[in-house]
Amino acid sequence: MEPEGALRPDPSYRAASALEAAQAARQSAETLADALQVSELRYRRLFETARDGILLLDSDLGKITDANPFMCELLGYPLSGLVGKELWEIGLLKDKTASQEAFRQLKRDSYIRYDDLPLQNSRGEWREVEFVSNLYRENGHTVIQCNIRDITDRRITESNLAVSAAKNARIAETLQRSMLQDIPDGKFSGLTIQTYYAASLNESDVGGDFFDAFALSDGKVAFVVGDVSGKGLIAAARTAEVKYALRAFLHEFNEPDVALEHLNHFICETHASDSNSGEMFIVLALSVVDSLTGKTVFTSAGAEPSIILRDNDLTDLVEIVGTPLGIIRDAKYTCLTRELGPGDTLIMTSDGITEARKGSTFLGVDGLAKLIEGIGSELSLVSLSQAIHLGARAFSANGLRDDVCLLLARRQ
């Protein structure tokens, strides 16, 4: 018996609450169905419009159950010609055994990938493709999806670029060899000349090191060692340009520092109009020797100091501060004068020698001078140049990182 005055549930209220709950559940189901439909439409749109081939496979048999239009276009088959086939039957894998092995690997690892797979379509055309396949679970079902990307055009472009790079490397190497031709013995009266060049560890990178020696008027001879920044064809081409432009300016202007100022201005002008130059610059050492008197005029554009090995085995460093060519248009250069006596040897080098490294310690110019003094002046120029190179290599246990370029001139 209910207590007197107790509230009794209203049957109409209970019915209304149940109705609202049913409506809410129906609305939630409709919303979920709409969301699923939108998701399926979105996936189907992506599936149909993708510019990669997509295949769906039966997870038990490994046979194709669906393919997008791009896959049909790539293979040259209608969808009906693909459904029910295995991968090897449409030209993706070489035979049934390979296809079955790939399928077993996929089921074991849930993932396989081939970066460079040849594919022959129904038209007999060969294409290069990337093949990626994933196995995953979705709504309680196992799904296998294969993505196939046609990389034929990319491979052709890469091949053409490789051919072009090899061609440019051959041209650059030829240009560099022309910059490093040996100077004939006896070319300059009163002077014995020796040049020496050794490539760095990475010989495939053609650098911009060069040397030159040529006669001026009144028995004077110009000696040059330079290094153009960068590698490859652009550096090699700029090396040839600098070498022969300097010859022209030295013949026109008798003073080495004036010739360098004109050369620097010329390089800055050409850099401004050449989009391939980038941040290119040139370091260069120039010496002009009077073969009759031994008077030698030195100037430098940021290069390593020249060294004179006296016939008493002592060295004389010729240190000049100068701005590398191609950086400041109106840069000025200075000269120093030394006497090159009979038996004295002028040694000019690129930084491939002085930057020889042992740990964090560089050989440097002072270390090179001590190395040369230890070798002495009794050796022939051929043996002296080889000994300098070997000494720098011995200092640097891991080998030299840059090209070695030496020019030696001994007054007879």
- Same domain for 325 and 270: yes
Beta partners for 120? 126
Q: Do 250 and 142 belong to one domain?
A: no
Q: How many CA atoms lie within 13 A of 34 on its CB side?
A: 6
Check which CATH number belongs to the domain holding 296 and give it. 3.60.40.10
Asked whether 230 and 283 are in contact (CB, 8 A), the reply is no
Residue 186 region by backbone torsions, left for phi larger than 0, else alpha for psi between -120 and 50, else beta = left
Per-residue pLDDT of the chain (412 residues), as tens digits, is 555 555 555 566 556 666 666 666 666 666 666 565 656 667 667 778 788 889 888 888 888 999 999 989 888 889 998 999 888 888 777 778 877 888 888 888 888 898 888 888 888 888 889 999 998 877 677 888 999 999 988 888 888 888 877 776 676 566 666 656 677 777 899 999 999 988 765 544 555 788 899 999 989 999 999 988 876 667 777 888 888 899 999 999 989 999 999 999 999 988 766 655 556 789 999 999 999 999 999 999 999 999 999 999 999 999 999 999 999 999 999 999 999 999 999 999 999 899 998 888 999 999 999 999 999 999 999 999 999 999 999 998 777 878 888 999 999 8
Residues spanned by the domain of 187: 179-411
Rounded CA-CA distance 64/73 in Å is 16
Identify whether residues 257 and 350 lie together within a single domain: yes
Looking at the fold, whether 135 and 230 belong to one and the same domain comes out as: no
Question: Do 184 and 268 have their domain in common?
Answer: yes
In this structure, what are the phi and psi dihedrals at residue 293, rounded to the nearest 5 degrees?
A: -105, -20
In a domain? residue 259: yes
Total domains present in the chain: 2
In a domain, 166, yes or no: no
Residues 126 and 196 in one domain: no
Within this chain, do residues 139 and 186 fall inside the same structural domain, yes or no?
no
Read off the pTM.
Answer: 0.62
- Sorted by sequence, the CB contacts under 8 Å of residue 307 that are 6+ apart come out as 315, 316, 317, 318, 346, 347, 348, 349, 365, 368, 369, 372
